[in-house]
Homo-oligomer: A and B are copies of this chain.
Amino acid sequence: MTMCGTENPTSNNKTSCVSPANGNGMTLPSFPSDHVLNLEQGDPTVFESYWRKMGDKCTMVISGSELMSYISDFTSVCWFLEPALEAAVRRFHRTVGNAVVDGDRHIVVGTGSTQLYQAALYALTSPGRSEPVSVVSAAPYYSSYPDETDYLCSALYKWTGDAYAFNKTRHGPYIEVVNTPNNPDGTLREAVVKNRSDQGKLIHDLAYYWPQYTPITRPADHDIMYFTFSKSTGHAGSRIGWAIVKDREVARKMSKFVELSSLGVSKDSQQRAAKIMGVICDGYENCKSTDNSELFFDHCHQIMGNRWERLRKVVEQSEVFSLPNYPKKYCIFFGDSVEPYPAFAWMEAEEDVDTEKVLRGQIKVQGRTGRRFGVDQRYVRISMLSREDVFNHFLERLSTITSVTNGH
């Protein structure tokens, strides 16, 4: 059996990947029914078609002698942050209205938000405590938090699991990660640990707080919040994330982490991110003369809406799964009341089964089990961000399921 779409980077079972996974813009062959459709990761290849349509507008050209130095700007708290990216990030957020970047806000660039999550843990802790600081997030939580927190067995911090459980027992100093909209379930989140004191600190993971996924209700304004190029524009391969940080000393420590971890962040990708963000912003600034469907967030919101509509139809007809319902909210970006279209479908089986296994067994679709997110195996997370043909095959196969106990 071969695996189509993308395969699980965190698992060890390597299988070959057929040509549909190559994003070369060619017409893709149809998938044989025994090919596994991989919808386990949130690989954002759905947005490739938009960028292909943009043609040369975003083409990045770097000569052999450019961007060679380690250093970008020594006057900055984050000395390896390209000034062009810093300016583009601030402009991007001003255009979208999803984060406060004016006033005393520091930008720290990271090799994806993965590195920034760890930079934030490092910045909020100090050596010399008798116990590591607890790191918690409300279940269902992003499945990579536990491993990314614990893989080096740090004495600084330690994954402690569901923030709701922590709230009840109170274990001393902690960091709560608030992921909103939440991966995997798309809900809007606030901190859940109550009676927070000096003992508790917050990190806001806003990877999905972009108009294609969720109504932008206000500019986020938290102490430490981070975003990523992967989920905002779909450029996961560039590994660019950025944090917006209020406290200068926290920003300095986060930068120090990135320095110790990788001596900075690819300047090639920083410049590419700056260029692409700029093209999106240019589009909205000139939007009177532009067909709205050519504007990035408008276009992608339509794609996501279309996928969600089709998915809901199939799920309703099958009567064996359910999906969360998300209330419409007023979006300050679109200037209208809009429905959330999360990056993942958080599917629950109506019966008590291992839904990941059911999908893999019955229709050769690879999702990620709820257990990885700290909840029940009845849940499975399915990526909504695959290429169109993979998504279409997924719906086609899903529509054939009439019972979750069939064939088991």
> Residues on A close to B: CB < 8 A?
3, 6-7, 9-10, 12, 14-17, 21, 23, 25, 41, 43-45, 47-52, 54-71, 73-75, 79-80, 110-112, 114-115, 118, 122, 127, 144, 147-148, 151-156, 230, 234-240, 252, 257, 259-269, 272, 276, 279
Establish whether residues B6 and A71, one from each chain, have CB atoms under 8 Å apart when the complex forms. Answer: yes
CA–CA, A45 and B70, complex, Å? 9
Establish whether residues B59 and A63, one from each chain, have CB atoms under 8 Å apart when the complex forms. Answer: yes
Establish whether residues A239 and B259, one from each chain, have CB atoms under 8 Å apart when the complex forms. Answer: no
Contacts of A51 in B (CB 8 A): 63-65, 68
Contacts of A61 in B (CB 8 A): 59-61
Establish whether residues B23 and A68, one from each chain, have CB atoms under 8 Å apart when the complex forms. Answer: yes
CA–CA, A54 and B66, complex, Å? 12
Q: Give the number of times this chain occurs in the complex, counting copies.
A: 2
Establish whether residues A74 and B264, one from each chain, have CB atoms under 8 Å apart when the complex forms. Answer: no
User: Min CB distance, A383 to chain B, in Å?
Assistant: 11
CA–CA, A7 and B79, complex, Å? 10
Establish whether residues A67 and B279, one from each chain, have CB atoms under 8 Å apart when the complex forms. Answer: no
Partner among B52, B58, B71 whose Cβ is within 8 Å of the Cβ of A9: B71
User: Min CB distance, A242 to chain B, in Å?
Assistant: 14
Contacts of A238 in B (CB 8 A): 67, 266-268
Contacts of A257 in B (CB 8 A): 151
Q: Which residue of B lies closest to A58 (CB)?
A: B64
Q: Which residue of B lies closest to A42 (CB)?
A: B70
- Whether A263 contacts B237 in the complex (CB less than 8 A), given A45-B68, A48-B68, A152-B122, comes out as no
Establish whether residues A268 and B60, one from each chain, have CB atoms under 8 Å apart when the complex forms. Answer: yes
CA–CA, A81 and B112, complex, Å? 16
Contacts of A73 in B (CB 8 A): 17
The CB with the most chain B CB atoms within 10 A, among A43, A65, A66, A155, is that of: A65
